[in-house]
Amino acid sequence: MIILGNYIVRSVSLAGMATLFVILGLDLFLSMVDEMGDVGKGEYSSWLAIQYVLSSVPRRIYEMFPMIALIGTTLGLGILGSSQELIVMQAAGASIMQIFRTVMRFGILVLAAVVALGEFVAPVAEQYGNRVRTAAISGDSLMRAERGYWARDGQRFIHIDKVFPGGLFSGITIYEFDKEWKLQSTLFADRAHYRQRTWTLNDIVRSEFLSEQITTARLQEASWDSTLNPGVINSVMIDPDKLSTRELYDTIDFLQKNELEAGRYQLAFWNKVVQPVSSMVMIFLAIPFVFGPMRSIGMGQRVVTGALVGFGFYIVNKVSGQMSLVYAYPTWLGATIPSVLFLAAGMWMMARIR
């Protein structure tokens, strides 16, 4: 069974790679066409646009993996079925369950690599792409650093630790210089709100550097006059779907402690938690496609069916998540329902295999 297992794994992996290149290539092409609309702004060139789009490849692979797993597994096993090799394997003593376990074990190994890619590589690559894009468009007046954002406002340099929707910022540090670029004062605020074109800072510590001494004052609240606005910052803010699970957890914790809406981040968090399960469900679905009632259809029809099911899962997953935000039911439920529905459909199809 080891030799047969390796042969099955090779067939499925080659089909999966082909599926990945086709789907990812099409997605990157469409993203590049969309990005060309910003080429020419500031120093943003076509080459930088290519770098920006390519920096999103790890995230795209992570997000597309459930669909790729379904189509690739269906295609790989379907090729073996069309050439009667699966029948020969079964005649040699390999049962459907043995083939199923071989595919699932291989799927778990690939999934572990994809999860590592999405958790550790994708956020770093995405941040690099955003820094390149923002620096080129804004002329270095605004950039995303490894931690937070840097902006320049006249003689002030501003560091913002985190940015949230609705004009909310946390961890604001303002460095103010005179015309000779000597540091005059620093100000740290735990939170900042932008309302009616005015900034309001909360929990403030301000230090002034005088000629002979340094004075420190604490304020509960104060207004802040700045040309900086949330629209500028939001142009470089990373969407919740592009954050790692750890970053999402920290963001949710901050929002909940401040009694702020965290639904979008909770949904993104649970989508990442459930994503490995969704991927395994998609691989599981490929088995009844090949051995079940659909085994008699042609290869083209099988691939199209797999693609439609994978795309259907993507749509149901998006709709279910958004409905959890609109109707205010638990986001973990919105992220879990699609996998449960498709798992139930797969088990029903498996039960019909003769």
Annotate the chain with three-state secondary structure. CHHHHHHHHHHHHHHHHHHHHHHHHHHHHHHHHHHHHHCCCCCCCHHHHHHHHHCCHHHHHHHHHHHHHHHHHHHHHHHHHHCCHHHHHHHCCCCHHHHHHHHHHHHHHHHHHHHHHHHHHHHHHHHHHHHHHHHHHHCCCEEECCCCEEEEECCEEEEEEEEECCCEEEEEEEEEECCCCCEEEEEEEEEEEEECCEEEEEEEEEEEECCCCEEEEEEEEEEECCCCCHHHHHCCCCCHHHCCHHHHHHHHHHHHHCCCCCHHHHHHHHHHHHHHHHHHHHHHHHHHHHHCHHHHCCHHHHHHHHHHHHHHHHHHHHHHHHHHHHCCCCHHHHHHHHHHHHHHHHHHHHHCCC
Average pLDDT of the segment spanning 290-306: 66
Q: Picking from 20-24, 189-193, 251-255, which range would have the lowest pLDDT averaged per residue?
A: 251-255
- In this structure, the number of other CB atoms found within 10 A of the CB of residue 149 comes to 21
Confidence of residue 140 (pLDDT cuts 50, 70, 90): low
Q: Picking from 127-141, 242-256, 333-347, which range would have the lowest pLDDT averaged per residue?
A: 127-141
**142 vs 177, higher pLDDT:** 177
- Could you read off the pLDDT of 53-63 as tens digits, one per residue? 999 999 999 98
Average pLDDT of the segment spanning 263-288: 90
- Taking CA atoms, 224 is separated from 37, 48, 132, in Å, by 34, 35, 29
End-to-end alpha carbon distance in the chain: 22
Which pLDDT value is given to residue 20? 93
Which pLDDT value is given to residue 254? 74
Confidence of residue 111 (pLDDT cuts 50, 70, 90): very high
Residue 288: which of 339, 230, 347 has the closest Cα? 347
Which pLDDT value is given to residue 248? 86
The answer on pLDDT for 269 being more than 90 is: yes
Residue 296: which of 70, 81, 80 has the closest Cα? 81
Which pLDDT value is given to residue 53? 93
Which pLDDT value is given to residue 251? 79
**339 vs 227, higher pLDDT:** 339
- Taking only Cα atoms into account, the Rg of the chain, rounded to an integer number of angstroms, comes to 26
Residue 278: which of 83, 67, 117 has the closest Cα? 67
Q: CA 115 to CA 130: how far, in whole Å?
A: 22
What is the average pLDDT score of the chain?
83
Could you tell me how many residues make up the chain? 354
Residue 244: which of 160, 146, 162, 122 has the closest Cα? 122
Residue 334: which of 321, 343, 344 has the closest Cα? 321
Confidence of residue 1 (pLDDT cuts 50, 70, 90): low
The answer on pLDDT for 332 being more than 90 is: yes
**161 vs 232, higher pLDDT:** 161
Letter for the amino acid at 247? E
Give, in degrees to the nearest 5, the angle at Cα 123 between 258 and 56: 125
Which pLDDT value is given to residue 189? 92
Q: CA 118 to CA 324: how far, in whole Å?
A: 24
Which pLDDT value is given to residue 165? 64
Q: What pairing do the DSSP bridges indicate for beta strands 149-153 and 142-144?
A: antiparallel
**197 vs 115, higher pLDDT:** 115
Q: Picking from 83-87, 207-211, 302-306, which range would have the lowest pLDDT averaged per residue?
A: 302-306
φ/ψ (deg, to 5) at 42: 60, -125
The answer on pLDDT for 141 being more than 60 is: no
What token pair was written down for 267? Answer: 């949904």
Confidence of residue 191 (pLDDT cuts 50, 70, 90): confident
**95 vs 9, higher pLDDT:** 9
The answer on pLDDT for 116 being more than 80 is: yes
